[in-house]
Amino acid sequence: MSTDNPSDSEASVETTTPSTRVALVTGGSRGVGQGVARALADAGWHVYVTGRSAERLAATIEGREHSIFPLEVDHSDDARVEAAFDEIRTRSGRLDLLVNNVWTNPKGFMGFGSTFWERPVDDWDSLIGIGLRAHYVASVEAAKIMVPQGSGQIVHISSFGSRAPFHTVLYGMSKTALDKMAADMAHDLRETGVRCNSLWLGLIRTELLLSFGMEEFNGFPLDRAEDPEFVGRVIAALAEDPDIRSGDTIITAEYGRGHGIVNNDGAQPISHRGAFGGGPLFPPVTDAQLGLDTADEVAEHTGKSGAAENVAGH
């Protein structure tokens, strides 16, 4: 179990060198977070994972006790989140990658079939309070470490729910906000050496989903869905990819296909771009790309440069 002041026995396990890559994966007790943490560890990363208890993280750490380390964190508690980052700074001296993955199901959430007025209003507290706000808080704390060291990668786990109605209204709102957050954080992080990107994952082959013995889920074939470890391998690759543009939203299946990254069984996951009506919203398609001649009417009226000129470009 991790504490704010790790014991000597804990510290002795965590041997890092200046070349050691250090990652934090939030919400790493199961599913995507668990697979990402294990894939990063297998790629040589020194990985911290958060969960509400060390017991919940035991399966993630099993067999990788010298490369994955638990942090007990309730992501609704800003003070505990800040303490976790202080702990990483003390124990490892750096942070190279933050994977914002923590998420919690609203009470009674079944995924499909409910309109927004049929759902409790307090769905907001989980889908926005944790599914969005916790990512912002963790990103703030990560930037406090990464910007001074002059390097780092922040990744938000988003989805195609940004593009088309999916699950619930609040789910789509939270995912779209993550994509916008990545784009705007990238603007603030320009010239710091730190990048921020959002990832659109397809259907994930979790242990729970596979246990149902289905061949497809809501029309999506499971044999070409994404393993949680596949997502981790994609993240490990893009964290070291000099061609990734900060602020972009990236479709994991398409990045994997372009870089030879496959599932645990060697299969290539397929993109859901067409099923959801198109690709990422950020960066937005510009008027120039659409062949439109757009004038800055504010600048023309005032004689001063418009806001778009002042903030454009990362």
**What are 281-292's pLDDT values in tens digits?**
998 887 888 888
Instruction: Answer whether residue 163 shows pLDDT above 50.
Output: yes
For tokens 């939030």, the residue is 26
Q: Model's pTM, two decimal places? A: 0.90
Instruction: Answer whether residue 93 shows pLDDT above 60.
Output: yes
Q: How far is C-alpha 79 from the chain's CA centre?
A: 21
Instruction: Answer whether residue 58 shows pLDDT above 90.
Output: yes
The pLDDT tens digits for 60-71 are 999 999 999 999
The pLDDT of residue 313 is 46
For residues 6-25, one letter each, b for 16 or more C-beta atoms within 10 angstroms of the residue's C-beta and e for the rest, the string is beeeeeeebeeeeeebbbbb
Instruction: Answer whether residue 26 shows pLDDT above 90.
Output: yes
The pLDDT of residue 16 is 65
The pLDDT of residue 214 is 86
pLDDT band at 306 (very low <50, low <70, confident <90, very high): low
The pLDDT tens digits for 210-252 are 888 888 887 888 999 999 999 999 999 999 999 999 999 999 9
The pLDDT of residue 294 is 82
The pLDDT of residue 3 is 39
The pLDDT of residue 291 is 86
* Residues annotated as part of the active site: 171
Instruction: Answer whether residue 308 shows pLDDT above 70.
Output: no
Q: Average pLDDT of the chain?
A: 89
Instruction: Answer whether residue 84 shows pLDDT above 70.
Output: yes
Q: What percent of the chain has pLDDT over 70?
A: 89
